[in-house]
Amino acid sequence: MAEDNSKTNLPPLSLHVPEPKYRPGDTVDYSDVTIPRAGDQPRPDVNSAPAAMREMVYDMVRVLDDDYKAVGPWDPKLSDDTLLKMLKTMAQVRAFDDRLHRMQRQGKTSFYMKCTGEEATSVAAAMALDSDDMCFPSYRQQGILFVRGYPMVEMINQIFSNREDKLKGRQLPIMYCSRRLGFFSISGNLATQYPQAVGWAMASAAKGDTRIAATWCGEGSTAEGDFHSAMTFATVYNAPIIMNVVNNQWAISSFSGFAGGERTTFAARAAGYGIAGLRVDGNDPLAVYAATQWAAERARTNNGPTLIEHFTYRADAHSTSDDPSAYRSAQEREEWPLGDPITRLKRHLIHRGVWSKEQHEALDKECIEAVKVATKEAEKNGILGHGLHQPFETMFQDVFEEMPWHLKEQSEQANKEREIKWPDAEASK
């Protein structure tokens, strides 16, 4: 092949590796983050063609303004009672997170994940859904269970993997499941819930049902193949589903740029697949509610799926296995321009004249006490390492309707080995 001299003057190729703007010790300045004025965003009809609302994936739906007033066409016009329930539920979730995080540090469970700063993305969204809609959560949507009335004691039993754990100790702590409440089993494998949710939604449509599906993942999970497979099926089959992407800026130690956040918004993925997309202020509970309500109506009227990006911030560590001070500036949380969802809703209700600082202080104490009572009750059923666990035999159960011969043999062999190794334990049964 002849030598090509036309490229001799070109610079060598270089690989771009995303790098976050701020590292530990850096001064944080979010002035480059565009935050549109609340109330300026148009509210399309629920039957609008995705192409006609493409600019929504670059805008940001906001309802609460700087004075904590609800403004603009996206204001869902919620009653005082509904907003108070939303506030109290978010406060209860945060109190629950704080105490269970401390209990992990005390050695009472092996693992925990908080959703501090992201409460609106699950609580407000769940309140906008019908109670029988099916939810396929990621691991930071415990707020859905609180909205749907799942007992805190049962959640803590699961976290402790004790003898009353409804999942029999088979799931990592915080990976809850409730068939009765339409809360699909949480998976530690990222984005697996997305194609499962789309499949469920397709089945609901095929049966002529009225229920829709909603699923959640973090922005990092949009880089997973399962996310894109789900998007393809959702658009091809016009699945009645809401696909939530909680953009909290950080995976466990890598920032959103590694999932494509430097190039465009995560809501823009909707435009690429030809489905409706919204970008929402994830720390504005009213905006989250309004966007979810809009998407739910769209799905329920056979107008197809919606992708919602919740622009928020992970205010605490990724999990109890994480130390964010090793990779991001401590100032990020303080400087985050969209504030805190609980504080913003509290101030909105004070502005409406139905709430006060004193009432909120009392609420915080009530929430702390409620979690304390629930944890004490759950501790009676056992904590990590204290022996009050599920019966050993459950290891081999619940996979087949009738246990096959090879599992029976394994169970018998395992029990014999236990008798040899721990005769005292067997004798005390």
DSSP class per residue in 157-206: HHHHT-TT-TTTT-S-TT---BTTTTBPPP-SSTTTHHHHHHHHHHHHHH
Dihedral angle at the C-alpha atoms of 261, 267, 271, 275, nearest 10 degrees? 150
Tell me which of 30, 150, 237, 327 is the catalytic residue. Answer: 327
Residue owning tokens 């799905």: 299
Pairwise CA distance, residues 131 & 147, whole Å: 9
Smallest CA-to-CA distance from 414 within 406, 336, 376 is with 406
314 is catalytic: yes
- Supply 59's token pair: 């805008």
DSSP, res 266: S
Active site residue 102: no
Contact call for residues 52 and 93 (beta carbons, < 8 A): no
Kindly name the residue from 318, 344, 347, 360 that is annotated as catalytic: 318
Give just the sign of the alpha carbon dihedral 62, 343, 88, 376: positive
DSSP structure string for 93-138: HHHHHHHHHHHHHTTSSS-----TT-HHHHHHHHHHS-TTSEEE--
In angstroms, rounded to a whole number, what is the distance separating the alpha carbons of residues 279 and 355? 29
The catalytically annotated residue of 314, 328, 347, 348 is 314
Type of residue at 251: A
Nearest by Cα to 74 from 97, 108, 46, 114: 46
How many of the other CB atoms lie within 10 Å of CB of 288? 32
Q: Is 352 a catalytic residue?
A: no
- Identify the H or E element spanning 244: strand 241-247
Burial class (CB in 10 A: 0-12, 13-18, 19+), 96: buried
For residues 277 and 269, is the Cβ–Cβ distance under 8 A?
yes
Tell me how far the alpha carbon of residue 86 is from its chain's centroid: 16
Enzyme catalytic residues: 314, 318, 327
